Structure 1
Amino acid sequence: MTDTQTLIENRPPSVATLFLERVEATPDAEAYRYPVPTEGPGPDGWASLTWGDAASRVFSIAAGLMDLGVRPEERVAIASATRVEWILADLGILCAGAATTTVYPSTNADETTFILADSGSRVLIAEDAQQLAKARDRRPELPDLKHVVVIDPKGLSAGEDDGWVLSLEELERRGAAYLEKHPQVVKETVAALSKDQLATLIYTSGTTGRPKGVRLPHDCWSYMARAIEAISLLDKDDVQYLWLPLAHVFGKVLIAGHISVGHITAVDGRVDKIIENLPVVRPTYMAAVPRIFEKVYNGVAGKARAGGPAKYKIFKWAAEVAREYAKASQENRRRTGSPTVPFALAAQHAIADKLVYAKIREAFGGRLRACVSGSASLAPDIGYFFAGAGIHILEGYGLTESSAASFLNPGEAYRIGTVGKPFPGTEVRIAEDGEVLLRGPGIMQGYHGLPEKTAEVLEPDGWFHTGDIGELSADGYLKITDRKKDLIKTSGGKYVSPAEVEGQFKAVCPFVSNVLVIGADRNFCSALLALDEPTILGWAEENGLGGRPYAAVVASPAARELIDGYVQRVNAELQRWQQIKSFRLLPRDLDVEHGDLTPSLKLKRPVVEREFKDLIDEMYAGSREM
Structure 2
Amino acid sequence: MATAPIALEFNNEDLPLTTWTRDGEVKVRIGSPGTIEGNAPQTVIDVLKKVINRHGTESAMHWKKDGQWTSMTWNEYHAKCKEFAQGLLHLGMNRFDAVSIIGFNSPEWNIANVGAILAGGIAAGIYTTNNPPACQYIAHHARAQVVVCDGLQQLDKMASIADQLPDLKALVIYNATVPPNLKCRVPCYNFSDFLALGTPETSAILEERMQSQRPGHCCTLIYTSGTTGNPKAVMLSHDNITWTIASTLKQFENGGVTINSNSRMVSYLPLSHVAAQLLDIHLPIASGVQIYFAQPDALKGSLGATLKEVRPTIFFGVPRVWEKIAEKMWEVGKQTKGFKKVVSTWAKKKGLQKSTSAQFGSSGGIPCGFGLANSLVLSKVRAALGLDACQLCAVGAAPTPIEILKYFGSLDIPIYELFGQSECCGPQSICIPGAWKMGTVGQPIPGVEWKVIPETQELVFQGRHTMMGYLGMEAETKATIDAEGWLHSGDCASIDTDGFGAITGRIKELIITAGGENIPPVLIEDAIKEELPLLSNVMVIGDKRKFLSALFTLRTIMDSDGAPTNELDPTALEILSQIKSPAKTTQEALACIKVVEYLNAGVNRANARATSRAQSIAKYHLLEQDFSLPGGELTPTLKLKRKVVIDKYAEIIEQLYSGAEGN
Same fold (TM over 0.5): yes
Of the candidates 609, 630, 653, which is equivalent to residue 573 of structure 1? 609
- Structure 2: distance between partners of 1:223 and 1:313: 49
Q: Aligned-residue CA RMSD in angstroms?
A: 3.1
Of the candidates 407, 410, 419, which is equivalent to residue 397 of structure 1? 419
Unaligned runs of 5+ in 2: 5-33, 558-566
1:435 aligned partner: 458
Shift of residue 484 of structure 1? Answer: 1.3
* 1:585 matched to 2:605: no
Q: Relative to 1, partners in 2 of residues 1:161 and 1:483: Cα closer, same or farther, differing over 3 Å?
A: closer
2:593 aligned partner: 557
SS of the residue 1:102 aligns to: strand
CA displacement, residues 438-497 of structure 1 (integer Å, 9 cap, x when unaligned)? 112111121111111111111123211111111222332222221112122344444332
Q: Relative to 1, partners in 2 of residues 1:571 and 1:140: Cα closer, same or farther, differing over 3 Å?
A: same
- Say if 1:325 and 1:349, in contact at 8 Å, map to a contact too: no
2:267 aligned partner: 242
SS of the residue 2:621 aligns to: strand
SS of the residue 1:52 aligns to: helix
Shift of residue 405 of structure 1? Answer: 0.9
1:206 aligned partner: 226
Shift of residue 588 of structure 1? Answer: 1.8
Q: Relative to 1, partners in 2 of residues 1:546 and 1:147: Cα closer, same or farther, differing over 3 Å?
A: farther
Shift of residue 95 of structure 1? Answer: 0.9
CA displacement, residues 5-39 of structure 1 (integer Å, 9 cap, x when unaligned)? 56663345311221122112111111111122x4x
2:209 aligned partner: 189
Shift of residue 201 of structure 1? Answer: 1.6
Shift of residue 215 of structure 1? Answer: 1.4
Of the candidates 69, 90, 93, which is equivalent to residue 113 of structure 2? 90
* 1:147 matched to 2:167: no
Unaligned runs of 5+ in 1: 39-43
- Say if 2:178 and 2:190, in contact at 8 Å, map to a contact too: no
Q: Any residues of structure 2 matched to 1:134-533 within 5 Å, and which?
A: 134-154=157-177, 156-157=179-180, 161=184, 164-175=187-198, 178=199, 180-181=200-201, 183=203, 185-231=205-251, 232=253, 233-236=257-260, 237-254=262-279, 255-268=281-294, 270-272=298-300, 273-305=302-334, 326-330=355-359, 333-335=360-362, 338-340=363-365, 346-347=368-369, 351=373, 354-355=376-377, 358-359=380-381, 362-433=384-455, 434-533=457-556
Shift of residue 582 of structure 1? Answer: 3.4
- Structure 2: distance between partners of 1:401 and 1:623: 44
SS of the residue 2:493 aligns to: strand
TM-score for the superposition, normalised by structure 1 = 0.89
Shift of residue 106 of structure 1? Answer: 0.6
Please identify, of 551-560 and 103-112, the stretch whose mean Cα deviation from structure 2 is larger: 551-560
Please identify, of 155-164 and 262-271, the stretch whose mean Cα deviation from structure 2 is larger: 155-164
- Structure 2: distance between partners of 1:563 and 1:424: 45
- Say if 1:369 and 1:392, in contact at 8 Å, map to a contact too: no
CA displacement, residues 314-358 of structure 1 (integer Å, 9 cap, x when unaligned)? 98887777556533442xx415xx4126x5xx5489659845784
Shift of residue 192 of structure 1? Answer: 1.9
- Say if 2:3 and 2:38, in contact at 8 Å, map to a contact too: no
* 1:620 matched to 2:657: yes
- Say if 2:354 and 2:412, in contact at 8 Å, map to a contact too: no
CA displacement, residues 133-164 of structure 1 (integer Å, 9 cap, x when unaligned)? 23322233211111111123346228964762
SS of the residue 2:197 aligns to: helix
1:41 aligned partner: none
- Say if 2:358 and 2:434, in contact at 8 Å, map to a contact too: no
2:52 aligned partner: 23
Shift of residue 81 of structure 1? Answer: 1.8
Q: Relative to 1, partners in 2 of residues 1:473 and 1:194: Cα closer, same or farther, differing over 3 Å?
A: same
TM-score for the superposition, normalised by structure 2 = 0.84
Q: Relative to 1, partners in 2 of residues 1:513 and 1:322: Cα closer, same or farther, differing over 3 Å?
A: farther
Please identify, of 406-415 and 549-558, the stretch whose mean Cα deviation from structure 2 is larger: 549-558
- Say if 1:234 and 1:261, in contact at 8 Å, map to a contact too: no
Please identify, of 244-253 and 480-489, the stretch whose mean Cα deviation from structure 2 is larger: 480-489
* 1:115 matched to 2:142: no
Please identify, of 388-397 and 582-591, the stretch whose mean Cα deviation from structure 2 is larger: 582-591
- Say if 2:177 and 2:190, in contact at 8 Å, map to a contact too: no
- Say if 1:408 and 1:419, in contact at 8 Å, map to a contact too: yes
SS of the residue 2:450 aligns to: strand
SS of the residue 2:361 aligns to: helix
Q: Relative to 1, partners in 2 of residues 1:356 and 1:501: Cα closer, same or farther, differing over 3 Å?
A: farther
Kindly tell me the number of residue pairs found equivalent between the two proteins: 610
Shift of residue 263 of structure 1? Answer: 1.4
